[in-house]
Amino acid sequence: MTFPDATRAYPVTLPDGSSHAGTVFLSQVIDHPGWEVGDYTYASDFAPPEDWASRLAPYLFGGPERLRIGRYGQIAHGVRFITSGADHATDGLTTFPFPIFDPARIGSYQPDTRDTVIGHDVWLGHGAMVCPGTHIGHGVIVGAGAVVRGTVPDYAIVMGNPAQVVRMRFNPDTVARLLALCWWDWPPERVAAAVPALLSGDIDGL
């Protein structure tokens, strides 16, 4: 089996030998101060954009918040990260953001500065929306169309609006062992050797 090359922007090679333009390793196509994304995390889109950062996180304007995504993430078509720059102040008599229309004040108006954090080996399903300040744990599966906010525990499966945990992927002992192993931090050659165990669910072999 060929292990993916983390330095390729387009890591999927089709049977005719061409690269699939609709799937990219984000670390190779995003150069944005608000983004931190790990190796091997990919995104797919049926209409590949020129600017993947703006397509996925359209409100990440360059404020203090960060979007941090771990390694080996899987981001389906239509996923959006609604980062803190989208928020309006709610402690006044109106939520209308008057300062953003004043060039002298626009830089000082950001009522919410929370980071959005996505763990390692997270699968975000088609059309999922991740709200400002969300923390998604390692190994999470987010169902198609889910609207995720708050904190999602490691290895949970969440669905719905608002997203709720429908079940855990593994029992607590297996989750603890996986978190202790941290396979996503291993060198690529070690992960490549572990692929059979990873795909078959053989944690003892891992």
pLDDT above 80: residue 85 = yes
Question: Running DSSP on this structure, what letter comes out for residue 185?
Answer: G
Grade residue 114 by pLDDT with cuts at 50, 70 and 90: very high
pLDDT average, residue stretch 120-143: 98
Grade residue 180 by pLDDT with cuts at 50, 70 and 90: very high
pLDDT average, residue stretch 109-114: 94
pLDDT above 80: residue 148 = yes
pLDDT above 80: residue 97 = yes
Contact 27, 41 (CB under 8 A): yes
pLDDT above 90: residue 108 = no
| Neighbour count for residue 132 (Cβ, 10 Å) | 19
Percent of the chain with pLDDT over 90: 96
- At residue 107, the pLDDT reads 82
- At residue 11, the pLDDT reads 97
Positions of CATH 2.160.10.10 in the chain: 23-169
**Distance of alpha carbon 123 from its chain centroid, rounded?**
8
Contact 165, 153 (CB under 8 A): yes
Class of domain 23-169: mainly beta
Contact 57, 67 (CB under 8 A): yes
| Tokens encoding 87 | 């928020």
Q: For residue range 12-62, what is the model confidence (pLDDT) as tens digits?
A: 999 999 999 999 999 999 999 999 999 999 999 999 999 999 999 999 988
Contact 122, 138 (CB under 8 A): yes
Distance of alpha carbon 43 from alpha carbon 22, whole angstroms: 8
Question: Rounded to 5 degrees, what are φ and ψ at 69?
Answer: -125, 135
Question: Rounded to 5 degrees, what are φ and ψ at 76?
Answer: -80, 170
Catalytic residue among 88, 126, 135, 138: 88
pLDDT above 80: residue 1 = no
The per-residue DSSP string of 19-33 comes to B-TTEEEHHHH---T
Grade residue 188 by pLDDT with cuts at 50, 70 and 90: very high
- At residue 61, the pLDDT reads 87
Does 138 qualify as catalytic in the annotation? no
* DSSP SS3 for 168: strand
Is the C-alpha dihedral spanning 57, 84, 62, 121 positive or negative?
A: negative
